[in-house]
Amino acid sequence: MPSARPVPSALRPVVAAAAALVALALVAAGALVSSLATPAGALSPAVVLTSDFESGLDGWQARGAASVSTTATGARGAGSLLVQDRVDPWDGALIPVTEIFEPGTTYTIGLWLRLPDGAGTADLRVSVQRDLDGQPSYETLTTVEGVSSQWRQVTATYTPGLFDTASLYVESVSSPADVMVDDVLVSGVRYTPDLSLTPVSDAVSVPFGIAVEPQDLLGGRGDLLAHHAEQITPGNQMKPDAIQPTEGTFTFAAADGLVDWAIEHDMRVYGHTLLWHQQTPDWFFQRDGAALTTSAADQALLRERLRTHIEAVADHYRETYGEYGTPGNPIFAFDVVNEVIDESQPDGLRRSEWYRVLGPSYIADAFRYARAAFGPEVLLFINDYNTEYPDKRAPYLRLVTDLLAQGVPVDGVGHQLHVEVGRSIPMVEDTIEAFEALDVTQAVTELDVSAYRDSGESWTQPPADRLLEQGYYYRDMLAMLERHASSFESITIWGLEDSRTWLRSGAAPLLFDGALQAKPAYWGIVDPSRIGATPTPTPSVTATPGVTPTVTPTPSVTPTPSVTPTVTATPSVTPTPADPRACRVAYTTNDWNTGFTAGVRVTNTGTSALSGWTLTFSLDGGQRVTQGWSASWTQSGARVTATNAAWNGSLAPGGSVDIGFNGSHTGSNPRPTSFALGGVPCAVG
């Protein structure tokens, strides 16, 4: 161990002292907050937990079937924690943090992990269990793939929500291997937002919303949210699995916590979602444990369950907050059906369990049940992703047109807009204009802009120029949306700050960084002239045992009068001029934990026109194409083939075509390294 340790190694006094230090610091911050109008930034982090296992277990205990002991081999010192006798993946080692963690404070957790010699490799996890009102929730802070018998240093950040009791623990994804743990250091810091900034809602003429989780209401996060948004969407708490986990058992507590907060802060609530193919418990589609069939009796049962679910949600919020449309009830809109389009199907409809049992009729039924249950004051929305791509736009438009023609009460069309820097904004505008011809309002329901262009990119923090590019992208997207402001009911961003995005770590798709400071993306919306003057986001605190972490205070921004925006262009690859059949492919992806959306731009860089083309490439990480657009897509093993659609087969020299697909992956998503058009290798980039 380093000789100059900032804290003694015996656990209890350290924890007590460190917790007291944090508590003192937070009290001091409170005093500061009340004496200064707009303090922003972060307090110096305080170490709240340190364990080096050199004089015992330091308070760590076995979790589940495991047993724990100390060994004489440390990561950098003499001892470490050995976890043995694991049977299930969740068996491991834990330390209670009920007295250490505070909801709303951000912690950086550093530790070292390895397996004993000869134990092969395993994917390990650092997790937290929080118990609130008798309900446990399990949160994975980080997954560390391929841990071997070499020590591996791991860092994660975490902001706990409310809890009665909590524990930090080490487990695995699936392997029951023995595990060694050492040099745990946890530091906490409470961030404060700059509340002197112009609220985003003042800069956007359409009502501005943010999708939230309960943690976002606490401390500085809650202040930031209340300052910038005028409505919220529950990120998960109104989905079917949250509201009705088992048939007839309705659990509204988490959702109500968000609605209560919205009322206290004079905000509207956009409900999400009554029907989806994900986050919907299996019982919906089963009778006595067996899958529902398409018999009339099973169809009637599923329709009845749908109606009951929708009525229960509507009745609960009417009974709790008063009639919809009256001042006490903030719910003004609800997503009735989510993601029902699949453009690769002949009828354009997703083959979900809903579709399998009921056929297409469930969509109209859901809207009719919702209108009957909610009444006329709640706007009923259909919602989907990738609606900007022409192949998805067409069936979406067709479905909504058909529903309206049948008198189905669809009031609004939602565009999720989970995009990445560079996705075509004119394409989004084309979709908006197409729906402007119908008798519906529209909403941007889940906007976020990943800083990753594709899955080949990976970083802890995006490079500064990419954050600038993201700022200009937000500027351009919002400017386009403003041109259509009268067509929109609201614009919602899917998350408050980057540390809590649903996208993979490093995507940094939101307006504020994990330290609650405004990014260039914020300035892109509020005052584009300041995009280039925004400092690089506050670095996250690295917990290195033996070194007191420090947080660099965010420098104040001096407004630069005229900053010429420069967006780094994708480096162009010069094709061999003599080749009449040369091509170039740009491949971008937007990833989440198990899936991704890929955009593929194919450019004819040769000298002869193509009439009809076929693109081939390999997905070597086991990824599967689940649906594609603007081409006909097939996959055989790793090999993927895309052949032109009827309308985009002609590709003149210099011309490009944008095609894309959704795919699934199981944890990593390596990008294809080579592409061929008609068998001719293409330049990549």
Kindly tell me which of 161 and 235 has the beta carbon lying closer to ligand XIL.
235
Decide: is 505 part of the binding site for ligand XIL (CB under 6 A): no
Decide: is 492 part of the binding site for ligand XIL (CB under 6 A): no
In the complex, what is the shortest distance from the CB of residue 155 to ligand XIL, in angstroms, rounded to a whole number?
22
Decide: is 414 part of the binding site for ligand XIL (CB under 6 A): no
Set 171, 446, 469, 489: catalytic member: 446
In the complex, what is the shortest distance from the CB of residue 413 to ligand XIL, in angstroms, rounded to a whole number?
14
Kindly tell me which of 234 and 471 has the beta carbon lying closer to ligand XIL.
234
Site for ligand XIL in 442-461 (CB under 6 A): 446
What CA–CA distances, in Å, run from 368 to 262, 306, 510? 27, 11, 35
Decide: is 236 part of the binding site for ligand XIL (CB under 6 A): yes
Structural tokens at position 109: 């957790």
SS3 225: helix
Decide: is 416 part of the binding site for ligand XIL (CB under 6 A): yes
SS3 74: coil
Residue 81, phi-psi category: left (phi > 0), alpha (psi -120 to 50), beta (remainder):
beta
Member of 50, 129, 155, 338 binding ligand XIL (CB under 6 A):
338
Kindly tell me which of 239 and 318 has the beta carbon lying closer to ligand XIL.
239
In the complex, what is the shortest distance from the CB of residue 594 to ligand XIL, in angstroms, rounded to a whole number?
10
Structural tokens at position 207: 């009502």
Structural tokens at position 670: 């390596």
Member of 151, 250, 283, 502 binding ligand XIL (CB under 6 A):
502
Kindly tell me which of 272 and 318 has the beta carbon lying closer to ligand XIL.
272
317-321's contacts with Cβ under 8 Å and 24+ in sequence apart are 317/259, 320/252, 320/256, 320/259, 321/259, 321/263
- What is the β-pairing status of strands 675-677 and 624-629? unpaired
Comparing every residue's Cβ against ligand XIL, the nearest one is 502
Compute the residue count for the chain. Answer: 685
Decide: is 420 part of the binding site for ligand XIL (CB under 6 A): no
Kindly tell me which of 445 and 517 has the beta carbon lying closer to ligand XIL.
445
Structural tokens at position 447: 């906007």
In the complex, what is the shortest distance from the CB of residue 400 to ligand XIL, in angstroms, rounded to a whole number?
17
Neighbouring C-beta atoms of residue 603, cutoff 10 Å: 22
In the complex, what is the shortest distance from the CB of residue 624 to ligand XIL, in angstroms, rounded to a whole number?
19
Kindly tell me which of 387 and 455 has the beta carbon lying closer to ligand XIL.
387
Set 213, 339, 343, 497: catalytic member: 339
Q: What backbone phi and psi angles, to 5 degrees, belong to 98?
A: -55, -40
What CA–CA distances, in Å, run from 675 to 583, 587, 647, 649, 681? 9, 10, 22, 18, 6
Decide: is 201 part of the binding site for ligand XIL (CB under 6 A): no
Active-site annotation holds for 446: yes
Decide: is 627 part of the binding site for ligand XIL (CB under 6 A): no
Q: Are 195 and 38 in contact (CB under 8 A)?
A: yes
Q: Are 108 and 549 in contact (CB under 8 A)?
A: yes
Decide: is 517 part of the binding site for ligand XIL (CB under 6 A): no
Neighbouring C-beta atoms of residue 32, cutoff 10 Å: 12
DSSP readout, 614-677?
A: EEEEE-TTS-EEEEEESEEEEEETTEEEEEE-TTS-EE-TT-EEEEEEEEE-SS--PPPS-EEE
Decide: is 658 part of the binding site for ligand XIL (CB under 6 A): no
In the complex, what is the shortest distance from the CB of residue 387 to ligand XIL, in angstroms, rounded to a whole number?
12
Decide: is 626 part of the binding site for ligand XIL (CB under 6 A): no
Decide: is 662 part of the binding site for ligand XIL (CB under 6 A): no
Active-site annotation holds for 264: no
Kindly tell me which of 280 and 338 has the beta carbon lying closer to ligand XIL.
338
In the complex, what is the shortest distance from the CB of residue 211 to ligand XIL, in angstroms, rounded to a whole number?
7
Contacts of residue 618, defined as CB under 8 A and 6 or more positions apart, other chains included, come to 638, 639, 640, 672, 674
CA 592 – CA 55 distance, rounded (Å): 42
Structural tokens at position 358: 């009921």
Binding residues for ligand XIL (CB under 6 A): 235-236, 338, 416, 446, 502
Catalytic residues: 339, 446
